[in-house]
Structure 1
């Protein structure tokens, strides 16, 4: 998912349960209220329509207020709307989900038809869902996305009100883990059709079937509330009555609000992150999230030149950037896929570390080699100079990051870089519409498999905003999802080779794997964090 992103921790092959028991002195605003939690986000909710959401802020709000078939509890996949974790039949191609009794917040029952409607709506090209590609592998999905068949032909059906059946073209080993992504959540057809274009634009035009109900969100506001859903099927295990969320873009403001007891969880960067390292409440948590520069090869054809892209990458001193700008525990990556996401099925070696054996040379800092490659690339493209705009968010850390990159990259002869800082929603829209030369973007894992990162940069993927393209890369990704899908070793090698191609050609330029610095109220217990980079507030409690 697209980022601004929050608290997270990784352990082993995926993400371990996160039990936040920080030590320290915050006198929280909820010190006399053991049922309310106050946290921050870096920006606003873009939408509450699960078919079109792409960013992690909106995704978290959907995970808080909705239930799909499954839900992560730490690294454990558990049934949610489904009554159990399903073992596929028909050589791994048929999933039959029996649904539990559950209600929407308007009193309607949650039925199999709600899933059929939501999935067919999401894959319909008219909906313009960027996550539609996740449906690939379901019968007719690829033809629907290509406009060759109607969305109504998707291989899903409601056998009865409580039985939802999905038929795949071929076995997909990670299919179950994808069910936690909001694009696979059910939707109440009556509510969606009544709201029309207003669906998901404010808290009055949505319904919930999850742990909380969204309140006081007008579509653009910098604060909102999530109130316990008393009709939630698992309400007995929802211990919090309310979650207050406030948008805070400045880390000094975040620290001040935490220290004054108005925030229970503050995200810090820069000087505040450095200052917090000696505080008792501090937690530094590594996420399955990679920040990267994306270059628009369609808008600026010179950026199709591999040497120019490699020169930009080698101009960046990632360690210095982390130490001087972020001032946290983030990691300099050697490729797109972050550390501790997945392990070799045969040897147990971490994917990122195994891939680094052939890719690390392309993300090293080498100013001399960068200038040499840059000069060669300019000659090959018959241009003498490039004037580029760097698109970024308007948060404090994004502004400081872009200024660092501007200073570093303008050492390349003939490169002039201007900065455009815009609100998060604007950056998303401009990125999706190809209205950028270079953009600072990020991706967080949707499930614990390298494909959740690598799939994005195939030639036809809707997230490939920079339009980098490589036929060998496309084939490797297709093979990993097709002919090699049930051969773990062959599939692993496909993904390693794909990462090597992407990194060698710098189809995107990885900058850092994020490890956020947080100040967290010591009263929180059993708050878990998933491989999909999402909090799970079910079972969390304040003591």
Structure 2
């Protein structure tokens, strides 16, 4: 959202599969090393796991799980620094277009070798149109991507080649300043071709139909249940470093239930979700305020609802939202009003944060009087006296609060009738991807520290441009930042600033808030990796004290 550890869920309910050779994944039993602990960590998530298919993961829960159970060429734990993963080292050509990776000897969870060809297959599978990956555009700088994606060239023409078993070469058509971060994402992970083909459409839809090359394996997940366990993978190349044997994950959609379970010791960690919970723990050594790159925004379906093609109506809907009231009184968790599409703290140039450099005040300001005037003007322009629409969002406590708040705000506009519906996240994402919504709230958490992670989303053909807003000048500036100006930091920065200002001036989306996550965690848990970009949680270095 994300990778892109995005805050979205994947688009479809996955089928349940059983694996003939996957019996090792069907229970929590695992060998215990002398330097590990058998005591599990009981972890909380707020929504269900969608998929373990690296090519199809687009929501934050799936991305987070894959980052702990699989490993790419490089890894990114803290959000701003990459370090060796399966690749023990790598080099980049002077023109920035050729990356050469030397792979270490590592294994899959079934004991077979991880080879350069596994990376080639995994990347080709992500780009293959038949896979229907929502994140395939991450490869848009890889040589021949467009031709391969459009079926004009075979998959073998993609600029990814294996040189023997332990060397991989990736060629780009244009330099990409953040490419080293992109390849830490799951869509660049290795995939074992024989395993994928064995399970076909069931691949990655359950613990048994998945294979792993990272620190952990998933067990006790059948594709639909709301709990699963991460169990140490003894075949992982650095297994001796893994101290925690098990991480038991439970989905808790009700914050009150989660709160009670944390206090009773059934959970070792939870994300606080109400102002009262935050106030109770904010002075405790168990409390952590986690910064986050995730921005949330309202999308208006301009293809389905003709009225939303009117810029004054879009501006009115943005201006009627009191973002500070929402973040202070409803969230109360440290989240704050968004200043644009790009998250604060993601990128700076010459000491200035992108959110400040590209700030368009009217696009995120609250002004009820002006909003009503703009709405009336918009209705007159489209020849309507009233319009109606439905806000679709998640069936979580926060999702219900968001819907109620937005409904209350929008209905202050005379002539606007607003309904709400709360659905499971999977359903919401399915409808968003297929255009079956009027208004929805979307979010994006980047897996690399660059404004382009957000700005790409709203280009004409991006699969995450759910509202179908389109502007030729915007597309041109984004394209320039990605191509002709890619090696010129100053010009590239200016391109991106101009792009966001167009997006905000036209109210292509309605920025809502940026998440800051309050968390409580038992003080005996140490070494948990947290990243404001990419996969949020990493258990690789975690351990327990007595």
How does the TM-score come out when normalised to structure 1?
Answer: 0.92
1:27 is aligned to none
More moved, 518-527 vs 484-493: 518-527
After TM superposition, give the deviation of residue 150 of structure 1 in Å.
Answer: 2.8
Deviations 1:92-142 (A, max 9, x none): 111111111000001110011111111111111111111011100111101
Task: Confirm whether residue 352 of structure 1 aligns to residue 355 of structure 2.
Answer: yes
After TM superposition, give the deviation of residue 4 of structure 1 in Å.
Answer: 6.8
2:210 is aligned to 206
Aligned ranges 1:506-517 → 2 under 5 Å: 506-517=507-518
**8 Å CA contact retained: 2:37, 2:244:** no
Paired with 2:488 and 2:53, the residues of 1 have a C-alpha distance of 36
**8 Å CA contact retained: 2:91, 2:101:** no
After TM superposition, give the deviation of residue 285 of structure 1 in Å.
Answer: 1.7
1:310 is aligned to 315
Task: Confirm whether residue 379 of structure 1 aligns to residue 397 of structure 2.
Answer: no
Match of 1:300 among 305, 320, 328: 305
After TM superposition, give the deviation of residue 279 of structure 1 in Å.
Answer: 4.8
List alignment gaps of at least 5 residues for structure 2: 10-35
Change over 3 Å in CA distance of 1:273–1:453 after alignment to 2: farther
2:268 is aligned to 264
Deviations 1:462-490 (A, max 9, x none): 11111110111101110001000000010
More moved, 106-115 vs 279-288: 279-288
2:88 is aligned to 83
Paired with 1:267 and 1:222, the residues of 2 have a C-alpha distance of 17
1:368 is aligned to 369
Task: Confirm whether residue 154 of structure 1 aligns to residue 158 of structure 2.
Answer: yes
Task: Confirm whether residue 493 of structure 1 aligns to residue 497 of structure 2.
Answer: no
Paired with 2:393 and 2:427, the residues of 1 have a C-alpha distance of 10
Deviations 1:144-191 (A, max 9, x none): 223333333211111111111111111111111111111111101011
**8 Å CA contact retained: 1:340, 1:350:** yes
Change over 3 Å in CA distance of 1:44–1:464 after alignment to 2: same
Match of 1:54 among 51, 58, 68: 58
After TM superposition, give the deviation of residue 394 of structure 1 in Å.
Answer: 0.3
1:542 is aligned to 544
Paired with 2:91 and 2:148, the residues of 1 have a C-alpha distance of 26
Task: Confirm whether residue 137 of structure 1 aligns to residue 141 of structure 2.
Answer: yes
List alignment gaps of at least 5 residues for structure 1: 6-31
2:252 is aligned to 248
More moved, 314-323 vs 375-384: 375-384
2:324 is aligned to 319
After TM superposition, give the deviation of residue 311 of structure 1 in Å.
Answer: 0.5
1:98 is aligned to 102
SS at match of 1:49: coil
After TM superposition, give the deviation of residue 381 of structure 1 in Å.
Answer: 1.8
Paired with 1:167 and 1:285, the residues of 2 have a C-alpha distance of 36
1:473 is aligned to 474
Deviations 1:481-519 (A, max 9, x none): 100000001001111111111111111111100011211
Give the alignment's Cα RMSD to 1 decimal: 1.5
How does the TM-score come out when normalised to structure 2?
Answer: 0.91
**8 Å CA contact retained: 1:71, 1:180:** yes
Paired with 1:275 and 1:51, the residues of 2 have a C-alpha distance of 40
After TM superposition, give the deviation of residue 198 of structure 1 in Å.
Answer: 0.5
